[in-house]
Structure 1
Amino acid sequence: MDFVSSTNGKSAEERINVILLGFDATSRMNFLRTMPKSNAYLLKNLSAIVMEGYTKVAENTLPNVIPVLSGHTLGEFKRKCMDLGADSGSVHVDECPFIWKRFSTNGFRTGFAEDDVGIGIFNMNWRHAFEKPPTDYYLRPFSNLMQAKQSSGDGQCYGTRLSFKVLLDNLENTAVTLKNHPFFHFTWATKLSHNNPNHLALGDIPLLRFLRFMHRDGHLNRTVLVLMSDHGSRLDGIRSTSQGKVEDRMPLFYLVPPPWFATRFPTAYQNLKANSDKLTSAFDLHETLLDLMDLSRLDNLEGRDVNADEISSRQRKASSLFQPISHNRTCLRAGIPLHWCVCRGDSVQRPMVDVESEEVQSAVRYAVDTMNYHLRWQHSCATLTLQKTTDAFYIDFESKEKLGSADEKPADGDTDKFTILRLSFTTLPGEGAFEASLVRGVVKGSWLLAEKVVRTNEYGDQSHCVDQDFKEFCYCT
């Protein structure tokens, strides 16, 4: 470390910059395919740690980013700090427990930047999410103006510059300006990859040049750089394939520690490397950020409770990536609802089953009925009917943990073994494609959703007549 001063009583050695650089809708595999030059530099020149077991915890961007920034599920986050009775135009999240507030309290400068303000992480769901700038450096006013005045072509560029390059330039300027002061910066690139996973290739050379600049000028000597995503591609053709189903669930996550980190914190570094093939989630990344906010926490890892699985198997147990994580960790223990679980340590997938069987048809009817129930007060939306069941298979789970989403309360009693029916289907009107995981209910012949029904193709303008909460299901009449 070479900061010349310290703040809040922390020594220079205990302070380090943290940069989260997020790529919307980017699986680890698509990063390998489309950014080969940047990937090679990260691995060979920067000794990046690749978290191969990192799994998403929810469907789309907001509920996958909120756990990183707050340590809570989206449901917990809303209950903690939001007016749940307000309409989206009057909801503000200024009082919510974002991690950049904790960094600020600990003497860090903070920054938040994203390029696609029209579908920004927070403003897509709440039109005026922040009444005041949430961080010391906030790029949204600039991005608003650039999008209104300088956006060109398919929206990838501001004038003659790729919008992704603008974000990287902003990070470079931040690193230079704050070279003697620790900072936390969260940057989210949406335009590059949101609409087409192949467009990510446009950012390979800009990212490579950014990495070279940060390395050459010594900024990575005092910075932990995290490259991450919320999920893989959710709404294009690949999503309907077996490969696409897995990639959607396993987003990008690389962590680049400073070159001195392994020597200064050998136990933490060895744990980090060992955890690269373990099951991890956004909740673990949040815990890791807390450690990076105060590196003195890494001197006493043995004294921290990390894997008390036998004590409370029902509860989510987040773990810093600098602590040892068990090979036997389950999805629900990591905060991953079973619908998103791809870990075969939790489950065994059986062969495909006949989609015309009564068992499958009763399950898919229940899923469609649930979608229509969700729309019951949306009188501008058509009643959905089943068009086709495209595939179905059973997954046998062995667990003593709760079913349902991470926001739901545990069911009564432990269940050692249970089976999920995961199916894909399309509906009319609109030919919407959906995926659902269901379990048998207590009443004979009944079903329960293990997680909400999720859409797997674009709804475009079909849902223009409703708010964001209903767009996935609604076909406007």
Structure 2
Amino acid sequence: MKTDHEILLPAKVNTNRKFFVVMLGVALLLLILNLKNLNFLENVSHVRLDIPTGFLVYNDHCQIEDHSPYDPHTMKYFTPQNYAQCIKKPRLAEVKFNKSSGKYVLIINKPLRKAYGKDLECCYHKIYRPPYDEDADIRVSIGSCWNVTNSVEIAETTENIIVRCKNKKLVDVYLDGFATMPEKDEVRKRLERWKKEDKPIKVMMLGIDSVSRLNLIRAMPHTRQFLERNGWFELNGYNKIEDNTFPNLMAILTGYNTARTAAECDAESSGKLELCPFLWKDFRNEGYVTAFAEDAANLSTFNYLKEGFEERPTDYYIRPFILEAERILPITKLSGLPYCLGYKHEGEYVFDYAIEFTERFNSSPYFGFFWANTFSHNNISDASSMDDRMIKYLNKIQATDSVIFFFSDHGMRFGPTRSSPIGHYEERLPFMFIYLPKWLKDKYPKWEESLRFNKNQLTNPYDIHMTVQSLLRISAGGEIKPADGCPKCQSVFEKVPPNRSCEDLAIEDHWCMCNNYVSESTSQQIGNFLGNFMVAHINNFVMSYKNGNFTETCNKLSLKSVDVLRVNRKNSLYIITFTTDPNGSQFEATVKHSPGSVIETSLRGDISRLNIYKFDAFCVNDGGIKKYCSCSKNVTKT
């Protein structure tokens, strides 16, 4: 006879089985739903699934934290800006390309004349750039004003024009400018080398100065959403390699570091910049048409404290237009930079030039580099005004079947947001997105796989140099040359080594975001020692720079205060922020300090200047010393 326990046992086991089966089914269902969700996320945002929460990069040699773009210390200085029309009156003139004649046509819109008064007389000036001259990048001129009543064809030799309309009193009532890309025999002959059946890879590089990865999210959220929804690949661990725009763009465009650039093609010497091995030269040599455009003539990458180009660097080059337009057209400034230039925001001239380039050469192989400074360089809020406009540009260029790089050089390098707790972090991590057209993803499926993998790996500008090189070599053949400044760097169309370090990528400790630091508040003595060490280093540098030519010009500095001190005890590294007298210059440096070692204290990389110094260093125009110089009294500007 069975006991009660023996009788109940089978029923309990049966119940448990049913419960187990039900729970197993629920678990499987949740797993399937989660996998589908993860696949969706991976397809849309290219999320690496093995990176711990709270990190952008995580390996044995590099851990980069993922901070919120809405840090309260930063948000105190962020106010979204609306896009505003520059001039409320309608634009009287327009320029169109006539495919039949192969020429541009300038049209004066009759119905709009009333907005500017009666009896207008309109004409246009041609803008000339010297063909070859040491001052060619700063010296342009305009010709006589050619009358236009309704419309006129513009000569093929004319690339840029200024339109002027006067009233009866001979007062200018309308001024406008247009940058064009007329037919050039040398370009068409070069493009004929490509057979119709060939499908070369077209490359477009679009950049915005001083926008960190976090500020793209903060200031241009709609642009960011557009990129994610349209399958652009992001490189979250994209780390700048040096201080400002010039070295970071040179790493992309030439593969050179600062030392090699100075030795081979010093931009501060007339006629030397042309000797640099720019990527656009390689593309042109392989039969591509090339273009380069940048706004803010006085701030531009190759001209600020530099000599610029004696010869035009690319087939189409917007600088002559920008120089003359900034001289003639009405300007409205924002955060100290030209914002409105005539009827358009100055940055729009750059991106309109990019659109014109893709339309004029839509069936040809091209390489274009387009860089905007004016709406982003001086303030974290300003880029927000171009958020929705940027989507329109990206959408048009995305439709061209080009490989597109959309990126920045660094985050904000000075001002109150740079001094915030994550200012150091933002400055070193700009944004980088890459778009692949469908035909290339279909042809090279491993590229997409590699880009997804590399999303959360440490990368830098030298990698982009290698990536662009690879695109040309696939189209035209030949060997890919290692980046001179980083032999271990590679194309991101291949999976990068998962344990990359800053040392592997030629990123000095001062710029490396892989080193995690904590506040050092236990030893005032260490702070004062390192602060005085750095002030002595700066003073010695100024005394020895160019045979001491600036010793009398620049004040000798003294330590006023140590503002922030952070430490990475594992590597004996300190980040110190300090202020000097006499004029309150604020610097940041990374120092290795290990008492008892052969070299107890050493500077690791460059020194950052955190506050604006153009007024403090008004007396020098030498880029190598300007950020360290506090001009002595009674010294005039050089």
The TM tier, using the shorter chain, reads 0.7 to 0.9
**Higher gyration radius (CA):** 2
Task: Note if 1:19 corresponds to 2:201.
Answer: no
Equivalence for 1:454:
608
Change (3 A) 1:160 1:9: closer
- In the TM superposition, 1:387-466 aligns within 5 A as 387-396=560-569, 418-440=571-593, 446-466=600-620
Equivalence for 1:72:
256
Q: TM-score if structure 1 supplies the norm length?
A: 0.84
* SS at structure 2 position matched to 1:124: coil
Task: Note if 1:39 corresponds to 2:192.
Answer: no
| Equivalent position to 1:471, from 616, 626, 631 | 626
Equivalence for 1:406:
none
CA-CA distance at 1:360 after TM superposition: 2.4
| Equivalent position to 2:304, from 124, 130, 152 | 124
Equivalence for 2:456:
277
Are the counterparts in 1 of residues 462 and 486 from structure 2 also a CA contact under 8 Å? no
* SS at structure 2 position matched to 1:225: strand
| Equivalent position to 2:553, from 356, 373, 380 | 380
Rounded Cα–Cα distance in structure 1 between residues aligned with 2:271 and 2:522: 46
Are the counterparts in 2 of residues 355 and 389 from structure 1 also a CA contact under 8 Å? no
Rounded Cα–Cα distance in structure 2 between residues aligned with 1:151 and 1:396: 55
Rounded Cα–Cα distance in structure 2 between residues aligned with 1:366 and 1:391: 15
1:419-441 CA deviation, whole Å, 9 max, x = no partner? 21111111111211111111137
1:427-462 CA deviation, whole Å, 9 max, x = no partner? 111211111111137777842101122111111311
- Structure 2's unaligned 5+ residue stretches are 1-189, 633-638
Task: Note if 1:257 corresponds to 2:446.
Answer: no
Equivalence for 2:46:
none
CA RMSD of aligned residues (A): 2.5
Equivalence for 2:524:
356
Change (3 A) 1:445 1:53: closer
Q: Which amino acid aligns with 1:39?
A: R
Change (3 A) 1:10 1:318: farther
1:235-278 CA deviation, whole Å, 9 max, x = no partner? 02111122111010000111111122221101122111110110
* SS at structure 2 position matched to 1:171: helix
CA-CA distance at 1:120 after TM superposition: 1.0
Q: Which amino acid aligns with 2:558?
A: T
Equivalence for 1:30:
215
Q: Which amino acid aligns with 2:311?
A: K
CA-CA distance at 1:355 after TM superposition: 5.6
Rounded Cα–Cα distance in structure 1 between residues aligned with 2:327 and 2:407: 28
Task: Note if 1:327 corresponds to 2:501.
Answer: no
Task: Note if 1:100 corresponds to 2:273.
Answer: no
Change (3 A) 1:443 1:465: farther
1:392-420 CA deviation, whole Å, 9 max, x = no partner? 122145xxxxxxxxxxxxxxxxxxxx421
Are the counterparts in 1 of residues 243 and 606 from structure 2 also a CA contact under 8 Å? no
Change (3 A) 1:69 1:169: same
CA-CA distance at 1:6 after TM superposition: 7.4
Rounded Cα–Cα distance in structure 2 between residues aligned with 1:289 and 1:275: 16
* SS at structure 2 position matched to 1:43: helix
Task: Note if 1:238 corresponds to 2:417.
Answer: yes
Task: Note if 1:50 corresponds to 2:268.
Answer: no
* SS at structure 2 position matched to 1:226: strand
Change (3 A) 1:355 1:167: farther
Change (3 A) 1:7 1:68: farther
* SS at structure 2 position matched to 1:227: strand
Are the counterparts in 1 of residues 255 and 486 from structure 2 also a CA contact under 8 Å? no
1:271-293 CA deviation, whole Å, 9 max, x = no partner? 11110110000000000001111
Rounded Cα–Cα distance in structure 2 between residues aligned with 1:194 and 1:26: 8
Equivalence for 1:414:
none
Rounded Cα–Cα distance in structure 2 between residues aligned with 1:109 and 1:201: 32
Q: Which amino acid aligns with 1:438?
A: V
Rounded Cα–Cα distance in structure 2 between residues aligned with 1:328 and 1:285: 19
Task: Note if 1:267 corresponds to 2:446.
Answer: yes
Are the counterparts in 1 of residues 241 and 460 from structure 2 also a CA contact under 8 Å? yes
Q: Which amino acid aligns with 2:442?
A: T
The alignment-based identity, stated in percent, is: 28
Task: Note if 1:170 corresponds to 2:323.
Answer: no
Rounded Cα–Cα distance in structure 2 between residues aligned with 1:445 and 1:287: 36
Rounded Cα–Cα distance in structure 2 between residues aligned with 1:296 and 1:183: 11
- In the TM superposition, 1:297-308 aligns within 5 A as none
Greater relative contact order structure (CA < 8 Å, 6+ sep): 1
Rounded Cα–Cα distance in structure 2 between residues aligned with 1:10 and 1:436: 54
Rounded Cα–Cα distance in structure 1 between residues aligned with 2:197 and 2:417: 47
CA-CA distance at 1:118 after TM superposition: 0.3
Rounded Cα–Cα distance in structure 2 between residues aligned with 1:352 and 1:210: 46
Rounded Cα–Cα distance in structure 2 between residues aligned with 1:70 and 1:305: 11
Rounded Cα–Cα distance in structure 2 between residues aligned with 1:193 and 1:211: 17
Rounded Cα–Cα distance in structure 1 between residues aligned with 2:597 and 2:496: 38
Rounded Cα–Cα distance in structure 2 between residues aligned with 1:246 and 1:331: 15
Change (3 A) 1:289 1:396: farther
Are the counterparts in 2 of residues 113 and 139 from structure 1 also a CA contact under 8 Å? yes
CA-CA distance at 1:352 after TM superposition: 2.2
Are the counterparts in 1 of residues 203 and 403 from structure 2 also a CA contact under 8 Å? yes
Rounded Cα–Cα distance in structure 1 between residues aligned with 2:476 and 2:218: 37
Rounded Cα–Cα distance in structure 2 between residues aligned with 1:120 and 1:197: 19
Are the counterparts in 2 of residues 233 and 239 from structure 1 also a CA contact under 8 Å? yes
Number of paired residues? Answer: 428
Are the counterparts in 2 of residues 380 and 465 from structure 1 also a CA contact under 8 Å? yes
Change (3 A) 1:190 1:348: closer
Task: Note if 1:336 corresponds to 2:538.
Answer: no
Rounded Cα–Cα distance in structure 2 between residues aligned with 1:145 and 1:161: 15
Equivalence for 1:195:
378
Are the counterparts in 2 of residues 371 and 453 from structure 1 also a CA contact under 8 Å? no
Residue range with higher mean Cα deviation, 347-356 or 424-433? 347-356
Change (3 A) 1:13 1:328: farther
Rounded Cα–Cα distance in structure 1 between residues aligned with 2:310 and 2:191: 31
